[in-house]
Structure 1
Amino acid sequence: NKKYTILIDPGHGGNDKGTIANDKITFEKDITLKVGALVAQKLTKQKDVQVIISRNEDKYVSLADRAKLANEQGVDALVSIHLNGQTGGTDAFGLETYYTKEKNDGSYELAKQIQETITSYIDVRDRGVKSERFQVLLQSKMPAVLIECGFLSNDEEAKKLKDEAYQESLAEGIAQGILTYLDTNSKK
């Protein structure tokens, strides 16, 4: 049986806090770390899946190093976990998954599968799948996606994102999306 290796990449860390909620004490870097650890935990339960995590503590890791780690380890997929922020506003909410159309390697299929699975697991506005030239997506040599799990700039969504039960369901949706993708796109 083929073994798969997945890189889970919790966004930001260390002095790079990422998006900061309106309460000024809730940081993107802390929630992505929690959700990433939960996803890793769920995937590791599968006997044919190995997980590498780009950071398992509150430390800074550059975007180049995240992509480099994925390339050096020859992982089958990279899944980057982020939270969104709206500049100068609070009304945007929902979840979206990015791939880059520069790469025709299954990134779109992975993004679509993750987006569909998460939105069936949790009650969240489906903002769809989008293409963007994010560095970590462009520099990695395998299917790679970046999930914006919700807007910390929206108070209602920030409240959800801080909730442990919500983080758990979110992680379950991400993990199941990855597993379904591997099932349907496995290199026989």
Structure 2
Amino acid sequence: MTAKNIKNFYRFDALNISNGSLNFKSSKINMTIKNGSDNLYINTVLFRLSYKIIQKNGDYLFSRIDLAKLIDPVLRPSYIKTAKRFDTVIIDPGHGGSDPGSVNRYGKEKDFNLRLAKILMKDLERKGFRVRMTRSSDVYPTLGQRVQFANRIPNAIFVSIHFNSFVSNTAKGIETYALSPQGSGTHNDRGIRNSFLTGNRRDSENIALATAVHASVMKKSQAEDRGIKRDRFTVLAGLSMPAILVEGGFLSNPSEAKKIASSSYLSILSNGIANGIVTYRNALR
């Protein structure tokens, strides 16, 4: 799909191209990307495309997968045909029990995940949602058990809570994951995979949910934006409802680790996630 076709179809007021940088503008949307890049910005929120855009015969080309599975559902969430109303949020605090996740001087990831999940549960209940948790104590449900538990619950969405870690203590920021579409790679492995997973039935809803939550969390937290990314995490692949995985910061980064250990910062993250879920729900109307 050419950039000009995208500009016309989505009724952008202008498409400005300068030195290989494309800028689509309308009264509500500002979308930018550079030739040869897979970093797409929509109203300051960073997305990682499945394929880099290319220039050919004077046109800039976007992949069909990125158009159908990212750009269209993000720009037009109310047009998602598979979208269903929901009244329940399933919160999945990652790790637990014998699996501590990342560990630093302040504690274990499994405990921070659960602390945030419990704050989020209260925030969501105050907004009128029913909430279910894949774990509410220091136990370890397997990934398969988490998926089976969630798939038994009707009219729901799924949010998995994690915190990041890296060998370098300078890595920082928040990133949100949705399941990779069929026929694409992942953020960490660009190799194409053509198999269809259960979670791919909700591709459009997954990316729309990720967009609403990530944008809200970034606004509330003012953290570094690491973007909305794709992967085939087991806990996302087998789900029958819209699902995302939120990485709320780096436990390996001293300044972020200190924040994550504080209840006030976890409340900020929770508020951002909860408000994003409300935004997503309203966009489906």
Question: How much has 1:73 moved relative to structure 2?
Answer: 1.1
Specify which of 76, 92, 112 is matched with residue 9 of structure 1.
Answer: 92
Give 3-state SS (helix, strand or coil) of 1:73's partner.
coil
Aligned ranges for residues 37-116 of structure 1 at < 5 Å?
A: 37-47=118-128, 49-86=129-166, 88-102=167-181, 103=200, 104-116=203-215
**d(CA) in 1 for partners of 2:145, 2:155:** 14
TM-score by length of 1: 0.92
* Structure with the higher fraction of residues in helix conformation: 1
Specify which of 102, 126, 129 is matched with residue 19 of structure 1.
Answer: 102
Counterpart of 1:39, as a letter, is L
Give 3-state SS (helix, strand or coil) of 1:171's partner.
helix
Question: How much has 1:60 moved relative to structure 2?
Answer: 0.7
For residues 94-139 of structure 1, the C-alpha deviation after alignment (integer angstroms, 9 at most, x for no partner) is: 0000001332240001011111000101121111100000001101
Moved over 6 A (4+): none
TM-score by length of 2: 0.62
Q: CA RMSD in A?
A: 1.3
Unaligned segments of structure 1, at least 5 residues: none
**d(CA) in 2 for partners of 1:173, 1:179:** 10
Question: Is the 8 Å Cα contact of residues 86 and 156 (structure 2) preserved in structure 1?
Answer: no
Question: Is the 8 Å Cα contact of residues 173 and 249 (structure 2) preserved in structure 1?
Answer: yes
**d(CA) in 1 for partners of 2:86, 2:231:** 29
Counterpart of 1:138, as a letter, is A
Instruction: Find the structure with the greater CA-based Rg.
Output: 2
For residues 32-82 of structure 1, the C-alpha deviation after alignment (integer angstroms, 9 at most, x for no partner) is: 1010011111111123x2110111111111111111111011242100000
**d(CA) in 2 for partners of 1:185, 1:101:** 22
- What percent identity do the matched residue pairs reach? 36
Matched, 1:29 2:110: yes
Unaligned segments of structure 2, at least 5 residues: 1-84, 182-199
For residues 8-29 of structure 1, the C-alpha deviation after alignment (integer angstroms, 9 at most, x for no partner) is: 11111011000112x2x51000
Higher relative contact order (CA 8 A, sep 6+): 1
Inter-CA distance 34–67: structure 2 relative to 1 (3 Å threshold): same
Give 3-state SS (helix, strand or coil) of 2:103's partner.
coil
Give 3-state SS (helix, strand or coil) of 1:74's partner.
coil
Q: How many residues align?
A: 181
**d(CA) in 2 for partners of 1:118, 1:153:** 20
Q: Corresponding residue for 2:187?
A: none
